[in-house]
A and B are shown apart, each in its own frame.
Chain A
Amino acid sequence: MSKQPETMTQEIQEVHIHRDDFGSKMGLWLFLFTEILLFGGLFILYASYRFIYPEGFAAAATHLDVLMGALNTIILLTSSLTVVLGIVALQKNKKKLCLFFLWITIFCGILFLVNKYFEWGAKFQHGIYPKGPALQDMSEGEVMYFGLYYVMTGLHGLHIIVGLAFIGFVMMQIKKDILTSKNFQKLENAGLYWHLVDIIWIFLFPLLYLIH
């Protein structure tokens, strides 16, 4: 039966979906899969060209500083630790401690980028960059290596920046008590993103630096 609305004006409809932390986590993981396949494409190309040009790759890798690479690996692993410690702290309702750990994470991320800046800088100085003078004298394998080197570390560096922004945003929400010991999924999500960036580097390090 048709009913006349009781009043001529109508209340504004808003649909509030209840909070779903696991759904939020699931969404973030699905997004991480897209990142894995994005880098995955580059890893496939790396595998292919390393297969085609084994000597070229080995020769090119000698231009990389293993110590720098190892240092950066340790920096990122530590930053992953501090993110998790930050989450634990927040879960234990230790807001200040949480922010302290997250600041260390940010610091580590910036340190990583600074190292990267110097690494790249040193190569640019030696003319080792796409279409650069040093590459004109290199073998095809070495040229392929450096093409991949810059794209992979560049894309990775971009993701470090995004990860830092994500963590920074979440830190703001923690400071404002939007995220608390009872509502921390967003922090976990930022952590998940950061860990993925760490894992990608875990593979990049041996593949780019440790070829013999």
Chain B
Amino acid sequence: MANGTIAVPGRTAEIDFYNVRTKHKGIASWLLTTDHKRIGIMYLGVVLFFFLVAMTLGVFMRLEMLTPGETIMKAQTYNSLFTLHGVIMVFLFIIPSVPAIFGNFFLPIQIGAQDVQFPKLNLMSWYLYIIGALLALFSILKPGGVMDTGWTFYVPYSIRSTANISLSVFAAFVLGFSTILTGINFIATIHRLRCPGMTWFRMPLFCWAMYATSWIQVLATPVIGITLVLIILERTLGIGIFDPTLGGDPLLYQHMFWIYSHPAVYIMILPAMGVVSEIIPTFAKKPIFGYTPIAISSLAIALVGYLVWGHHMFSSGISDTSRVIFSLLTFMVALPSGIKVFNWVATLYKGSIVVTAPLLFTLIFIFIFSIGGLTGLTLGALNTDLHLTDTYFVVGHFHYVMFGGMGIIFFAALHYWFPKMFGKMYNEKVAKITAYWIAIGFNTLYFPFFIMGYMGMPRRYYDYLPEFEIYHRISTVGSWILVSGILVMFYNLYKGLRNGKKAPDNPWGGTTLEWTIPSPPPMENFKVIPTVTTGPYDHTVIHGQEENKMQ
């Protein structure tokens, strides 16, 4: 066709899911929708908002740390800032984002389904997210004090703090419920709604990742649910279960907290790894290397992830025996992740590589995540951990894996699936520049954390000795580079949304089912449910013309 697109027969003129006429009108047609694509977009809006809020908190934290002592805020304010930064990032951004946005939008399409198994439950998940977010907001605005315990809410301080802790943890509880329902929905969807021919081992790896993640969401989240409820009961009724003055064991709180929160980090990273397994074969124009090991490693990471939580407690006072066991298990969990990285790199080898922004973000991810993973091993070894725990080294480690891992891939997914979700193209050149810009800002901000941590700079401290000042300064400048890069990246995407070129159905030459339907998709994903006869990365069956390449 003249404009370089191929028309999917009979469907190009179909109204997309944004503009379709629905039972409800106006905003009600969104707020009462049960369509997985609309729900995904609604999640995108709110998640992005909270990401920007938490990012701003981070900027202010770094401003405070520019000089020792008080710079722009008091110590109590700093405590609340890092608590909020953590709570919002963890519960309102990192955990929900990839599953709730891209999982919701693309899981059904990738398995050839019209929607998830429980569409109404899906909408309820979104409302629970909103309610949780509003509760968190309320806990900030209500007189009493903003949460200041750190996002980990450790006892006994979380019992004693005069801030609005009960409200804060209740917000987290509600958000947990939202995640649980999403997990239930996705497991049932994958079991029940795969299209004909889509056997388990023909599913895209993103779907495997969502499956493994969903099991963690279902089985781990309730544990923190009950733990948070117990905090509230402690504060209101004084039941004593975690109160050392009444006979309670504060370490049991830590156990219960990390029994969820360690698997939670796999809730964060597995979906991101699933996205990587989609992006790399598309831009290497090759099937993924080691499909089965990658699929199984997702399940393995989910399982082994339950076995390692004690490594957050090495210096808390747990028994030596358990420390040795947890350290050993921690080393083991690195193996399935290593398998994935190896397979991704092997996929690129001898591939016909097209460097687009999504791929660039992904390559940056591999570099940054590997550093994060390796520093995890340093922390997993008992002897080095005792020196590094509760220092900036840990902060560096988890920012490398969570932000450099999941965060960067969130950006990659945004770019990769942007044409499909919005039917427009963003400016590829600007996007690539922002990828480099963000990579530079990221490393400038966070690499000094490793050095500082090794030198002994404690985490969550608002004041520090003069020898750390140079590193803090470099870091803060890094935060400005990073944030400006992120803002330009979002602005570029926004421009694409408003004025971008119309996107073809398959701009990247992808092989999974979402590239066979229009961009953006109509309300009804498939006119006829497809029947699949090959694996998901078979490049001989590309839908759309090969000429549909991005320049």
Binding site for B on A (CB under 8 A): 1-5, 9-15, 17, 20, 22-23, 26-27, 30-31, 33-42, 44-45, 48-49, 52-53, 56, 130-131, 139-141, 143-144, 147-148, 150-151, 155
Tell yes or no: B188 within 8 A of A by CB: yes
Contact of A13 among B9, B21, B247 (CB under 8 A): B21
Contact of A10 among B10, B21, B188, B255 (CB under 8 A): B21
Whether B115 lies near A17 (C-beta < 8 A) is: yes
What bracket does the count of chain B residues touching chain A fall in? Answer: 35 or more
Q: How many whole Å from A169's CB to the nearest CB in chain B?
A: 15
Tell yes or no: B221 within 8 A of A by CB: yes
Whether B247 lies near A30 (C-beta < 8 A) is: no
Q: How many whole Å from A140's CB to the nearest CB in chain B?
A: 3
Whether B21 lies near A151 (C-beta < 8 A) is: no
Whether A151 lies near B223 (C-beta < 8 A) is: no
Whether A30 lies near B239 (C-beta < 8 A) is: no
9-residue interface stretch from B226-234, B367-375, B406-414? B226-234
Whether B114 lies near A130 (C-beta < 8 A) is: no
Whether A30 lies near B218 (C-beta < 8 A) is: yes
B525, closest chain A residue (CB): A15
- Provide the residues of chain B in CB contact with A38, threshold 8 Å: 222-223, 225-226
Q: How many whole Å from B50's CB to the nearest CB in chain A?
A: 24
Tell yes or no: B119 within 8 A of A by CB: yes
Whether A148 lies near B241 (C-beta < 8 A) is: yes
**Mind listing 30 A-B residue pairs with CB under 8 Å?**
A3-B13, A4-B13, A11-B21, A13-B523, A13-B524, A15-B523, A17-B115, A26-B191, A31-B180, A33-B219, A34-B221, A35-B222, A37-B219, A37-B222, A38-B226, A44-B255, A44-B256, A45-B241, A49-B252, A52-B249, A130-B238, A130-B240, A131-B237, A139-B247, A140-B247, A141-B247, A147-B241, A150-B239, A151-B230, A151-B241
- Provide the residues of chain B in CB contact with A141, threshold 8 Å: 247
Whether A41 lies near B523 (C-beta < 8 A) is: no
- Provide the residues of chain A in CB contact with B225, threshold 8 Å: 38, 41
In the bound complex, CA of A131 to CA of B239 (Å): 7
Q: How many whole Å from B116's CB to the nearest CB in chain A?
A: 9
Tell yes or no: B322 within 8 A of A by CB: no
In the bound complex, CA of A2 to CA of B6 (Å): 10
In the bound complex, CA of A14 to CA of B249 (Å): 55
Whether B222 lies near A41 (C-beta < 8 A) is: yes
In the bound complex, CA of A191 to CA of B167 (Å): 34
Tell yes or no: B45 within 8 A of A by CB: no
In the bound complex, CA of A39 to CA of B259 (Å): 14
Contact of B247 among A44, A144, A151 (CB under 8 A): A144
- Provide the residues of chain B in CB contact with A2, threshold 8 Å: 7, 12-13
- Provide the residues of chain B in CB contact with A45, threshold 8 Å: 241, 252, 256
Knowing A45-B252, A140-B247, A151-B233, the reply to whether A12 touches B188 (Cβ < 8 A) is no
Contact of B13 among A5, A14, A42 (CB under 8 A): A5
Whether B184 lies near A31 (C-beta < 8 A) is: yes
Knowing A14-B23, A38-B226, the reply to whether A147 touches B117 (Cβ < 8 A) is no
Knowing A2-B7, A4-B13, A5-B13, the reply to whether A15 touches B238 (Cβ < 8 A) is no
Whether B226 lies near A42 (C-beta < 8 A) is: yes
B251, closest chain A residue (CB): A48
B119, closest chain A residue (CB): A17
In the bound complex, CA of A137 to CA of B114 (Å): 63
In the bound complex, CA of A52 to CA of B121 (Å): 42
Whether A27 lies near B13 (C-beta < 8 A) is: no
B192, closest chain A residue (CB): A23
- Provide the residues of chain B in CB contact with A22, threshold 8 Å: 192
Whether A13 lies near B184 (C-beta < 8 A) is: no
B183, closest chain A residue (CB): A30
Whether B252 lies near A48 (C-beta < 8 A) is: yes
- Provide the residues of chain B in CB contact with A5, threshold 8 Å: 13
Whether B218 lies near A33 (C-beta < 8 A) is: yes
Whether A10 lies near B15 (C-beta < 8 A) is: yes
Q: How many whole Å from B518's CB to the nearest CB in chain A?
A: 12
Interface residues of B in 512-548 (CB under 8 A from A): 522-524
Q: How many whole Å from A57's CB to the nearest CB in chain B?
A: 12
- Provide the residues of chain B in CB contact with A14, threshold 8 Å: 23
- Provide the residues of chain B in CB contact with A41, threshold 8 Å: 222-223, 225-227, 256, 259
- Provide the residues of chain A in CB contact with B184, threshold 8 Å: 27, 30-31, 34
Knowing A2-B12, A2-B13, the reply to whether A12 touches B237 (Cβ < 8 A) is no
Cβ proximity bits B116-127 to A, threshold 8 Å, 1 near / 0 not: 011101000000
- Provide the residues of chain A in CB contact with B117, threshold 8 Å: 17, 20, 23, 27
In the bound complex, CA of A94 to CA of B235 (Å): 51
In the bound complex, CA of A49 to CA of B230 (Å): 15
Knowing A20-B117, A130-B240, A131-B237, the reply to whether A143 touches B222 (Cβ < 8 A) is no
15 more contacts with CB within 8 A, not counting A30-B188, A131-B237, A151-B241, are A1-B7, A2-B7, A13-B523, A15-B523, A37-B220, A38-B223, A41-B223, A41-B259, A53-B247, A130-B238, A140-B246, A143-B246, A143-B247, A144-B246, A147-B248
In the bound complex, CA of A43 to CA of B121 (Å): 29
Tell yes or no: B187 within 8 A of A by CB: yes
Tell yes or no: B22 within 8 A of A by CB: yes
In the bound complex, CA of A31 to CA of B528 (Å): 32
Q: How many whole Å from B255's CB to the nearest CB in chain A?
A: 8
Q: How many whole Å from B153's CB to the nearest CB in chain A?
A: 15
Whether A30 lies near B223 (C-beta < 8 A) is: no
In the bound complex, CA of A11 to CA of B523 (Å): 12
B20, closest chain A residue (CB): A13
- Provide the residues of chain A in CB contact with B252, threshold 8 Å: 45, 48-49
- Provide the residues of chain B in CB contact with A12, threshold 8 Å: 21-23
- Provide the residues of chain A in CB contact with B218, threshold 8 Å: 30, 33-34
Query: Most B CB atoms within 10 A — which of A5, A39, A144, A155?
Result: A144
Tell yes or no: B64 within 8 A of A by CB: no
In the bound complex, CA of A141 to CA of B246 (Å): 9
Tell yes or no: B385 within 8 A of A by CB: no
Tell yes or no: B505 within 8 A of A by CB: no
A38, closest chain B residue (CB): B222
Whether B240 lies near A147 (C-beta < 8 A) is: yes
Q: How many whole Å from B499's CB to the nearest CB in chain A?
A: 22
In the bound complex, CA of A15 to CA of B35 (Å): 9
Whether B23 lies near A40 (C-beta < 8 A) is: no
- Provide the residues of chain A in CB contact with B249, threshold 8 Å: 48-49, 52
Cβ proximity bits B73-99 to A, threshold 8 Å, 1 near / 0 not: 000000000000000000000000000
Whether A27 lies near B188 (C-beta < 8 A) is: yes
- Provide the residues of chain B in CB contact with A1, threshold 8 Å: 7, 9
Query: Most A CB atoms within 10 A — which of B9, B223, B225, B239?
Result: B239
Q: How many whole Å from B416's CB to the nearest CB in chain A?
A: 26
Whether B188 lies near A26 (C-beta < 8 A) is: yes
